[in-house]
Structure 1
């Protein structure tokens, strides 16, 4: 299937899911309360059924105007539901489901309107691929340390904190056993060690940093890179999951897992294409020998 077909398929599935949800809202008081709180269901339906359900169906049929209107409406409703759930503490499931629908609609709209996955949009500004300047290892290590600090502050502290607050406020929190939180702490320690080992190898042996704007000048196949091709990503995603386990937040764990999917589908292909262009046969041999995610015994070629 083409990217445009996948986008239309999403809108079709969203139309069916929206119709099923509205039937459930009017049939089940429990679902109505969990997803709409005290909002007037008939009044909301008056706008949402034509703009969300029927609009998604028209977008699935390929009507570009419906793609724009449905995506805009879904995003607006998601923002409104998030605000409503935060202020009242009700309709948390509605806010979460609409947030997921908004993200999905935006992604599907891009596919339908452009007919492709424009992953190159990620490589702009500070994320554009550029080789690191020639410098001493200590300079690369210093830059890498700053990058890790900023990454951790944003993706392992700030965003998870917002998610945890929303999870509690929206009534979505599920208590985790103490053993799970302890396991999260152990996982975090192991993942942090892996990230530090990977960063040091990248800086010293690769003569660069993990950030695309200061990429390594040499192909790194030693240290943790002997076991997986992307140990920095493995370490970062595992730390995100560990933060969720320690915080007792299933939404943070889900956030980390979604991050892994985005990285694997959008970032990794671009990164590996750049490595193949720069290092050619050496990278292809390394890629064939070493797994991307799960360590395996390296293949021995004769």
Structure 2
């Protein structure tokens, strides 16, 4: 066991499960946009090169946020982002100190970025429509489950970290002692 109480096997399982769960965001931010657009650039691109540059930045930022969040689930949470293989610990570090749902925010940014890069407004619709089931899932399943599992620890987190629009500075939980 490590000083924090996890075994090497638990850590390996968390890393493997998180890597396997990467298929979900790859589908949302990769396969679905491709099915709608075949990644064809519409000419002329509305907004031209500035819009495409912003799109590249959103796609890149989204990918970095998703990857770092997945690592945080495996390393800090000792689990995965998957609802069927939850974390052992509440994840509040890294980007989770700024916003409670960085993966969902990053997915919307990546899809929106593809819309800008490709000049494909239908991807803005995909991002907006995708927000509806995500909002419902977060409010009706994810948050109540976290409240049951982590109790006052999650309540303090929820009171201090916004669901969708990031804080300007990271929240850090009060430490005992």
Question: Which residue is 2:18 aligned to?
Answer: 144
Work out whether 1:156 is the aligned partner of 2:26: no
Work out whether 1:188 is the aligned partner of 2:62: no
- Point out the structure with the larger helix share: 1
- Distance in 1 between residues matched to 2:149 and 2:17, nearest whole Å: 22
Question: Which residue is 1:267 aligned to?
Answer: 137
Q: TM-score normalised to the size of structure 2?
A: 0.80
- Distance in 1 between residues matched to 2:9 and 2:81, nearest whole Å: 15
Where 1:213 maps in the other structure, the secondary structure is coil
Are the equivalent residues in 2 in contact too, given 1:173–1:249 (CA < 8 A)? no
- Distance in 2 between residues matched to 1:240 and 1:230, nearest whole Å: 16
Question: Which residue is 2:104 aligned to?
Answer: 233
Q: 2:81 aligns with which of 197, 210, 214?
A: 210
Question: Which residue is 2:45 aligned to?
Answer: 175
**Structure-2 change in CA distance of 1:207 and 1:299 (3 Å):** closer
- Distance in 1 between residues matched to 2:44 and 2:134, nearest whole Å: 27
- Distance in 2 between residues matched to 1:202 and 1:300, nearest whole Å: 17
- State the 1:173 CA deviation: 8.5
1:34-82 Cα deviation digits (max 9, x unpaired): xxxxxxxxxxxxxxxxxxxxxxxxxxxxxxxxxxxxxxxxxxxxxxxxx
- Distance in 2 between residues matched to 1:231 and 1:249, nearest whole Å: 24
- Distance in 1 between residues matched to 2:33 and 2:62, nearest whole Å: 17
Question: Which residue is 1:242 aligned to?
Answer: 113
Question: Which residue is 1:22 aligned to?
Answer: none
Which structure would you say has the larger RCO, counting Cα contacts within 8 Å and 6 or more residues apart?
Answer: 2
Question: Which residue is 2:68 aligned to?
Answer: 197
Structure 2 residue runs of 5 or longer lacking an equivalent are 1-7
- State the 1:139 CA deviation: 2.9
Are the equivalent residues in 2 in contact too, given 1:174–1:250 (CA < 8 A)? no
The structure with the largest alpha-carbon Rg is 1
- State the 1:142 CA deviation: 2.4
- Distance in 2 between residues matched to 1:174 and 1:154, nearest whole Å: 27
Where 1:214 maps in the other structure, the secondary structure is coil
Are the equivalent residues in 1 in contact too, given 2:28–2:107 (CA < 8 A)? no
- Distance in 2 between residues matched to 1:224 and 1:187, nearest whole Å: 16
- Distance in 2 between residues matched to 1:173 and 1:255, nearest whole Å: 20
- Distance in 2 between residues matched to 1:231 and 1:220, nearest whole Å: 11
**Structure-2 change in CA distance of 1:201 and 1:251 (3 Å):** same
- Distance in 1 between residues matched to 2:98 and 2:172, nearest whole Å: 11
Q: TM-score normalised to the size of structure 1?
A: 0.49
1:212-261 Cα deviation digits (max 9, x unpaired): 11111111111111111111111122112112222221101210122123
**Structure-2 change in CA distance of 1:145 and 1:275 (3 Å):** same
